[in-house]
Amino acid sequence: MNFLRNLLAAILGTLIAFGIIFFMFVFFISLVNTEEAVTVKKNSVLELQMKYAITDYTGNKEGDPFDVLFEKAQGLDEILHAIKVAKEDNDIKGISINNNYISAGISSTQAIRNALADFKESGKFIYAFGDFYMQKDYYLASVADSIFLNPVGAMDFKGLAAEVLFFKDLQDKTGVKMEVVRHGKYKSAVEPFLSNEMSEENRTQISELIGSIWNTIVAEIAMDRSISEEDINVIADTLGGRKPEYAKASGLLDDVIYYDEYAKRLKQAVGIGEDDKLNIISLEDYTRVSRKKKLLSGKDKIAIIYAQGEIFYGEGGPNYIGQGIINKAIIKARDDKSVKAIVLRVNSPGGSALTSDIIWRELEIAKKEKPLVVSMGDVAASGGYYISAGADKIYAEPTTITGSIGVFGAIPNINELATNIGINAEQVGTNKNSVDYSLFEPMSDEFRAFVKEGIESTYQTFLGKVSEGRNITIARADSLAQGRVWSGAQARELGLVDELGGLEDAIEAAALLANVDSYSVRKYPKYKSSFERFMEDFGGTSILNKEEIIRREIGTEIYGLYKEVKSVMEQKGFQARLPFTLTIK
Residues of 365-385 as b/e, b for ≥16 C-beta within 10 angstroms? ebbeebbbbbbbbbbbbbbbb
- For 402, other C-beta atoms within 10 Å of its C-beta total 27
Distances (CA, A) of 475 to 316, 393, 459, 466, 577: 34, 22, 13, 11, 21
Q: What does the alpha-carbon distance between residue 537 and residue 541 come to, in Å, rounded to a whole number?
A: 8
**Alpha-carbon dihedral sign for residues 138, 141, 143, 147:** negative
Identify the DSSP state of 503.
H
Question: Is 228 buried (19+), middle (13-18) or exposed (0-12) by CB count in 10 A?
Answer: exposed
> Reduced to 3 states, what is the DSSP secondary structure of residue 230?
helix
On the question of a cis peptide bond just before residue 525, with omega within 30 degrees of 0, the verdict is: yes
Residues tagged active-site: 187, 382
Distances (CA, A) of 508 to 67, 205, 296, 341, 395: 33, 33, 11, 10, 11
Q: What does the alpha-carbon distance between residue 444 and residue 438 come to, in Å, rounded to a whole number?
A: 10
Distances (CA, A) of 193 to 176, 276, 353, 413: 10, 62, 21, 12
Q: What does the alpha-carbon distance between residue 422 and residue 424 come to, in Å, rounded to a whole number?
A: 7
What stretches of 108-259 adopt beta strand conformation (E)?
Answer: 125-133, 146-155, 162-163, 177-183, 255-256
Nearest to 69 by CA among 542, 559, 550, 553: 542
Distances (CA, A) of 538 to 370, 411, 543: 41, 33, 7
**Is the Cβ–Cβ distance between 494 and 486 less than 8 Å?**
yes
- For 332, other C-beta atoms within 10 Å of its C-beta total 16
Q: What does the alpha-carbon distance between residue 323 and residue 313 come to, in Å, rounded to a whole number?
A: 7
**Is the Cβ–Cβ distance between 248 and 133 less than 8 Å?**
no
